A and B are shown apart, each in its own frame.
Chain A
Amino acid sequence: MANLAQLLNQPGASIEATDDFDTINRLIWDKGWGDGLPIVPPTEARVAAMLEYCDRPWNEPIAKVPPRWGEATPLLLAANAVMAGCEPRYFPLLMLAIEAMCEEPLNLYGVQATTHLCAPLVIVNGPIVQELNINGGHNAFGPGFQANATIGRAIRLSLLNIGGAIPGLGDMSTFGSPAKYSYVVAENEVASPWAPLHVERGFTATTSAVTVIGAECPHNINDHESLTPEGILMTIAGSMGVAGCNDIYYKAQPLVIMGPEHAQTVAAGFTKAEAKRFLQQHATVLVRQFSQENVDRRIRVTFKDRLANPKPDDVVYVVREPEDLLIAVVGGAGKHSAFVPTFGATLPVTRALKTANGELARSVEDFRRR
Chain B
Amino acid sequence: MQHTVRLVVPEAQMSQVAVETTKRAVASGGIRLGVLDNSKGNADHLLRFIVEGVKALLPVASVLTLRKESVSLPAPDALLDQLAGGADYVISAMAD
Contact = CB atoms under 8 A, between A and B. Distances in A.
- Chain B interface mostly: loop
29 contacts: A13-B8, A13-B9, A15-B7, A16-B6, A18-B5, A19-B5, A20-B2, A24-B7, A31-B11, A33-B10, A42-B10, A43-B8, A44-B6, A44-B8, A65-B12, A68-B14, A70-B12, A71-B12, A76-B10, A79-B9, A79-B10, A83-B10, A157-B10, A162-B11, A163-B12, A250-B70, A297-B41, A345-B70, A345-B71
B11 to A, nearest CB: 5
B21 interface: no
- Chain A interface mostly: mixed
Interface in A76-114: 76, 78-80, 82-83, 107, 109-110, 114
B12 A162 contact: yes
B6 A18 contact: no
A168 interface: no
A333 interface: no
Interface in A3-21: 8, 12-20
Nearest to A32: B11
Interface in B32-60: 41
A110 B4 contact: no
A79 B8 contact: yes
B27 interface: no
B3 interface: yes
Q: Which of B4, B5, B70, B72 has the most CB of A within 10 A?
A: B72
Given A12-B13, A70-B12, A109 B5 contact: no
Question: What 7 A-B pairs come out closest when comparing CB atoms?
Answer: A70-B12, A345-B72, A79-B10, A79-B8, A19-B5, A162-B12, A19-B3
A302 to B, nearest CB: 10
B96 to A, nearest CB: 10
B72 A114 contact: yes
A17 B5 contact: yes
Interface of B: 2-15, 41, 70-74
A353 interface: no
B11 A161 contact: yes
Nearest to A111: B72
Contact of B2 (A18, A71, A344): A18
Nearest to A246: B72
B9 A107 contact: no
A72 interface: yes
Contacts of B10: 33, 42, 76, 79-80, 83, 157, 161-162
Contacts, number: 96
Given A65-B12, A69-B15, A297-B41, 15 more contacts: A14-B6, A16-B7, A18-B4, A19-B2, A44-B7, A71-B12, A75-B8, A76-B10, A79-B8, A80-B10, A82-B8, A114-B72, A157-B10, A162-B10, A344-B72
B73 A110 contact: yes
Contacts of A157: 10
Q: Which of B4, B5, B8, B71 has the most CB of A within 10 A?
A: B8
Contacts of A196: none
A68 B2 CA distance: 36
A47 interface: yes
Contacts of B74: 109
A317 interface: no
Contacts of B7: 14-17, 24, 27, 41-44
Contacts of A75: 8
A183 interface: no
B53 to A, nearest CB: 25
B10 to A, nearest CB: 4
A83 B50 CA distance: 46
A339 interface: no
A140 to B, nearest CB: 28
Nearest to A298: B41
Nearest to B8: A79
A15 B4 CA distance: 10
A137 B35 CA distance: 51
Q: Which of B2, B12, B14, B73 has the most CB of A within 10 A?
A: B12
Contact of B6 (A12, A43, A83): A43
